[in-house]
A and B are shown apart, each in its own frame.
Chain A
Amino acid sequence: MAYSDKVLDHYNNPRNVGSLDKKDPNVGTGMVGAPECGDVMKLQIKVNEQTGLIEDAKFKTFGCGSAIASSSLATEMLKGKTVDEALAIQNTVIVNELSLPPVKIHCSVLAEDAIKAAISDYKQKQAAHKPALEPAVA
C-alpha cells in the first residue's frame, strides 16, 4: 500500500522519539497497543508546573508506518497545549493531516488513545502528589 508523503516524512524522520522520566510527577505516560497488528505505542507528556502547558512530548512506537507517523504527529501537536486542549485532540485531525486511508484509521485512534492515557496518568499522579503537600488534619 502506498503511504502519503506526510506519513513517509514522519516515518523517515520521526519527531520526538525517546522517553521522559516516568517517575517525574509532571510526566504522564500512556502505553497502548493493538494486538491485531502487533502495535505498541508509548507516548509521554511533560507539563510545565508554572504555565500548565505541555512543554515536551516523546514517543516510541513499534508498528506500521501509519502508527509511527500518527504518534510522531501527535507529539508535535501536543507541545505548547494545555492538558485540556490536548484532551480535545481527535483522531480525525491526524487522519486529515496524514491523509490516512480508511484501513489505517485505527492507527490514528491508537494515537488518540495514547494521548488520553498519558493525560490520565499525569492527572492521577498530580492528584496523588498534591494532597500530600497539604497539612495533615490533626
Chain B
Amino acid sequence: MEPASQVSYFAALELPEQLSIDRKDLEARFYRLSRTLHPDRFARAAPEEQQRALDASALLNDAYRVLRDPVARAEYLLSLRGLVPADSKYVPPELLEEVFELNMALEEVKMGDREAIPQLRQSHKSFQQMLAETDHGLESDFSAWDSTQNPELLDRLRARLNHRKYISNLLRETEKALESHVSD
C-alpha cells in the first residue's frame, strides 16, 4: 500500500483520472474496496498494518464523497491539473439574473402561508428538473473534456458547475421551506 496522502481520489477507487464516472460502478467499487479494508480483517495484523488500513479506509471515504458529487469531482480533477484560475468565481450575468428571479419567485411562495405548499411543491419539481437538465449537460461537458482536454471547454464547464451549485442550493431552500410548512 502506498502512503494514503500521495494517492489521488481516482487512484483510491482504482479509476482513471477523468470527469465521466458511472455512479453505479463507483458505488460498487467503493463497497468492494471498503470490504477489503474493514478493520475486522486486520484484527490480528501488526499495529502499523492496522493503521495503514485505517488511513486507506479514511482516504477511500473522502474519495467516494468527492467523486460521487459531479461538482466536487470536476473541481477536484481541475485542481489536480492546476486548472483553477483566478476568475473561477466569475458567474455569467444571465445566470445571475436567472438565479435572482428564481429566488424572488421562491421568496414570494415562501411568504405565503400553508396555501403556498402546492406552489412550493411545484417549484421543488421544477428545480429537480433543472438539476437533472444541468447534470445531463454536465455529462456531455465531462465526456467532451475527457476526450479532448480542450481548454476552450473550461469556461462552459465552469459556468455549468456554478449553475448546478445555484440550482442545488435553490432546491435545498425549497425543501427547507416545505419542511417548515409541514411541521407548522
- Interface residues of chain A, those whose CB is within 8 Å of chain B, are 31-38, 40, 42, 60, 62
Contact = CB atoms under 8 A, between A and B. Distances in A.
List the 4 shortest-distance A-B pairs measured between CB atoms, nearest first. Answer: A38-B169, A35-B162, A62-B103, A35-B165
Contacts of B166: 33, 35, 38, 40
Interface residues of B, number: 18
B93 A40 contact: no
B170 A38 contact: yes
Contacts of A37: 169
A62 B100 contact: yes
B69 interface: no
Nearest to B164: A35
B183 to A, nearest CB: 22
Given A36-B165, A38-B165, A38-B166, A31 B103 contact: no
A38 B169 CA distance: 6
Nearest to A36: B165
A61 to B, nearest CB: 9
A35 B99 CA distance: 10
A31 B165 CA distance: 17
Give the one of A31, A32, A60, A62 with max B CB within 10 A.
A62
Contacts of B103: 40, 62
B89 interface: yes
B89 A31 contact: no
A5 B93 CA distance: 33
Given A31-B96, A40-B96, A40-B100, 8 more contacts: A33-B96, A38-B166, A40-B99, A60-B104, A62-B99, A62-B100, A62-B103, A62-B107
A32 B96 contact: yes
Contacts of A33: 91, 95-96, 99, 166
Interface in B110-159: none
